[in-house]
Structure formats: C-alpha cells, structure tokens
Amino acid sequence: MKSLAAFRIAAALAMGVAAILPAHAQFSLAVSPPRFELSAKPGQRVSEVLELTHRDERAGAYKLKTADWTLRPDGSVDFSDELLPGSCRPWVAIERRELSITPGRPYRFRFEVAPPADAPPTECRFAVMIEGQQPTAAPSMPIALGARIGVIVYVAVGEVAPVLELAGATVKTVDGRPTPVLKVRNTGNAHGRLAGFLGGKDADGTALEIQAATTPVMAGETREIALVATKAGDTETAVAIRYPLVVSGKLEWGRKGSMAIEQRFAP
C-alpha cells in the first residue's frame, strides 16, 4: 500500500500551486493561498492579496517578481523570466520587488491584473515568484540563496472555458509501477481539470474507487492523467492494482462539463 500524501504532493506540484523550488536550506515562509483562479472583463482591473508569514525568529528578506511558466509532460513546471509568446505579464503589477517581513506577523502582499479594453478572450497565466535573500552579514540565516516559491495565477479574461475529451487510455510505468492513464485533450481556450471518482474492479473482482490526478490540461494540449486506485470507503490509501482493471463512471470538468469513462486497462 502507498499513502496518497505523496501522490497529492506530486499532483500539487504538477498543478502549479505554490511550491518550494530547489533550495539548500530551510525555507521559513508560508504562503496563502497557493494558487489563484480569477476572472476579469477586458478593461477591468482585478486586485488580489497573497498572505506571507515568515516563520523564523529574525526578520525575513525577500525578493518578488513575476514569471511566465509552462507545464512539462511529466507535470513539472518551468519558470521563465523572459516574456514568452503571448505573455500577459505586461498587464500585471506587484506592489513591490523587495520586502522585509517581521516574524509572526503576516504580510498582505498585493498584486493586480489589468487586461486592456481590447483584449480578446484569453486565459492569462503567470506566477508570482518569492525568493529568499541571504544577507552576507548573517550566513546562518535559514533561507537559502536560490530558494523560491512560485504561486500560480490564472485569470480568465472574457468568455473562456475548457473543453475536455477522452483521447485514449493506456497503462504506463509511473514511480516504478504500472499505472492506468487517461489521455485527455483540451480543445477549449482555458485550462481544465478532472474531478470526481470512478468505480473499478480488479482481476480478483475487488471493488475499487478510482481517482484522477487533478493535473491541469492546458488549452490546445493533450495530457496524460494518471488514475489512482483506493479501497472502497478508504480514499486516503492507494492500493496496488491487479490487472486487468475495469473502470466506469463519469468525471467532471469545468462548470458543467463531464466525461463518461468506460475502460479496461491491462499492461
């Protein structure tokens, strides 16, 4: 058996939620919320707040900026300081680029997005990057130079929505074990995620509950979405699958979308 905690952490990283990127020491900052999903009309200014809590005895020094990002096929995130084609970061303003946070007192950090009045329907995506500074006068400070947190922001500008459809199914090796995978195509103009549970039966006839990873499927892409099996009534503990596995049911996406699934998986 395998705890779903590791799966959910991996899924969280894949979704682009706030994640600590490579560091060499403790990162003493808590960020809330880990992700924003906003909407705006062309010409409308939208403001939001990140709550930053420094969890050390000394004040924390941080640098902040925006970045573009892309999601790799394996679910990891690439951040870019350079403007990517179609970037909406010129619409984004942050309140400051350097910040000192007093221990124990959350700091409310503001940013805003202002799509121009002639902006076409689009999904604006960017990240707010928070990087710890390591003062040379305090080499023992537990914030590593290079440690950073990326908070993903989605802004639906105008009428945009995902359109998800099943493009295939297979079994692939994930983390060293055969894993059922759905191939999901998004023909819409905004990202979408699968949600909900499917019913399943393994080779022994054991009833299982099947959960899809909540990895986002970006507009115009086809992405492989792993399925995790748990015992009926215990959705916290993943179980090894005895193939063939038969699954059926319906997964939801977007506000009203759904996807019927009837699949047999075998390595």
* pLDDT tens per residue, range 240-251: 999 999 999 999
**Of the listed ranges 22-31, 142-151, 221-230, the one predicted with least confidence:** 22-31
Which residue in this structure is represented by tokens 């080779």? 203
In whole angstroms, how far apart are CA 249 and each of 10, 154, 199, 206?
A: 25, 29, 6, 16
Q: What is the pLDDT confidence band of residue 28, given thresholds at 50, 70 and 90?
A: confident
- Regarding beta strands 148-157 and 35-40, do their DSSP bridges make them parallel or antiparallel, or are they unpaired? parallel
- How much is the pLDDT for 133? 80
- How much is the pLDDT for 24? 36
Q: What is the pLDDT confidence band of residue 29, given thresholds at 50, 70 and 90?
A: confident
Write phi, then psi, for 222 (nearest 5 degrees).
-115, 130
Q: What is the pLDDT confidence band of residue 146, given thresholds at 50, 70 and 90?
A: low
Instruction: Please indicate whether residue 78 or residue 20 has the higher confidence score (pLDDT).
Output: 78
Residue 84 and residue 70 in contact, taking contact as beta carbons nearer than 8 Å:
yes
DSSP lists the bridge partners of residue 135 as none
Half-sphere exposure of 97 (CA within 13 A, CB side): 5
Residue 145 in this model has a pLDDT that exceeds 70: no
Q: What is the pLDDT confidence band of residue 132, given thresholds at 50, 70 and 90?
A: confident
Residue 267: helix, strand or coil by DSSP? coil
Which residue in this structure is represented by tokens 């590593």? 144
Residue 78 and residue 150 in contact, taking contact as beta carbons nearer than 8 Å:
no
Instruction: Please indicate whether residue 146 or residue 234 has the higher confidence score (pLDDT).
Output: 234
* pLDDT tens per residue, range 38-71: 999 999 999 999 999 988 888 889 999 999 999 9
Question: Residue 210 is inside which H or E element, if any?
Answer: strand 207-212
Instruction: Please indicate whether residue 218 or residue 145 has the higher confidence score (pLDDT).
Output: 218
In whole angstroms, how far apart are CA 217 and each of 116, 123, 230, 240?
A: 26, 13, 23, 26
Which residue in this structure is represented by tokens 């924390």? 60
Region 97-102 average pLDDT: 93
Domains and CATH numbers, the chain: 16-157 (2.60.40.10), 164-265 (2.60.40.10)
Residue 146: helix, strand or coil by DSSP? coil
Neighbours of 192 (CB within 10 A): 21
- How much is the pLDDT for 141? 43
Write phi, then psi, for 241 (nearest 5 degrees).
-95, 130
Region 217-229 average pLDDT: 96
What is the token pair recorded at 257?
A: 């979308």
